[in-house]
Structure 1
């Protein structure tokens, strides 16, 4: 079982082959050319994905995530995005409802939780207006954030592998 540093390094090591795979197979047909910023964000997504499963217990990762949630929530309130702020607040509480190594340590969660990257990207980019019916969704959206999603999933699975807890 790895601790904070182990999961941090697991996320870093896991994303390196992904960056090369994305460059080789997805660029430029599905994903635009990766910039240095894209690669840095991929590393960040993988590291955060690697730390996320331990959000259900008092940990360095939990403190980091709740600080991030707090900053995002303040930003949403300043921007008068009250519904999005409420949704974030509700979702931020859900990991605390389960036991440690419960639902946050499942393979399906490794696919589901990082999908929030695509959802939040769509909200902030204006591609998805959650208050309009039906929601506007451009097929282009998934490709603009797919590599970030894959990086987060890769980091998440690195955590499960290091904990030997893939269920």
Structure 2
């Protein structure tokens, strides 16, 4: 099984390939500030399936969640911090290599990145899709490296 470093590296490679592909076919225009966010989300997507174990990847994932939650609280975005907290707890209710290592979880877990902004804040779906694609790309790279397909 690949470790957290391999999963991070795999997500960066997969994210770069997807980003270049989307730019090449004209579906994405590079915004440097957003690209940094997209790569962070891609890496978090790659670490997510293993956060149900005691691992370095889990500590990195939850450290990032803590920083994001504190930032949201600082910005008075308490609802977003609450949503993030609930989503971060989901893997704690399953066994390792359970539902977090399935193709359907890869598609369902990041859906709140699109649906919450759309239904609660009225954000346009296309504006949120890059974040969904970034998380799915990272998640896919993890499952691919773990030979789950």
For residues 146 and 21 of structure 2, the distance between their equivalents in structure 1, rounded to whole angstroms, comes to 25
What runs of 5+ residues in structure 1 fail to find an aligned partner?
131-135
SS of residue matched to 2:51:
helix
What runs of 5+ residues in structure 2 fail to find an aligned partner?
none
Q: 1:89 to 1:15 in 2, by over 3 A?
A: closer
Deviations along 1:53-98, whole A, 9 cap, x unmatched?
A: 1111111221122222223333444455555444433332221110
Matched residues, number: 149
**Equivalent in the alignment of 2:111:** 115
Q: 1:118 to 1:164 in 2, by over 3 A?
A: same
The TM-score with structure 1 as length reference comes to: 0.75
Matches within 5 A, 1:15-34: 15-27=15-27, 31=28, 33-34=29-30
Q: Judge conservation of contact 1:49–1:155 (CA < 8 Å) in 2.
A: yes
For residues 82 and 34 of structure 1, the distance between their equivalents in structure 2, rounded to whole angstroms, comes to 30
Q: Judge conservation of contact 1:45–1:148 (CA < 8 Å) in 2.
A: yes
**Equivalent in the alignment of 2:52:** 56
The TM-score with structure 2 as length reference comes to: 0.82
For residues 71 and 53 of structure 2, the distance between their equivalents in structure 1, rounded to whole angstroms, comes to 26
Q: 1:87 to 1:43 in 2, by over 3 A?
A: closer
**Equivalent in the alignment of 1:154:** 137
For residues 65 and 71 of structure 2, the distance between their equivalents in structure 1, rounded to whole angstroms, comes to 10
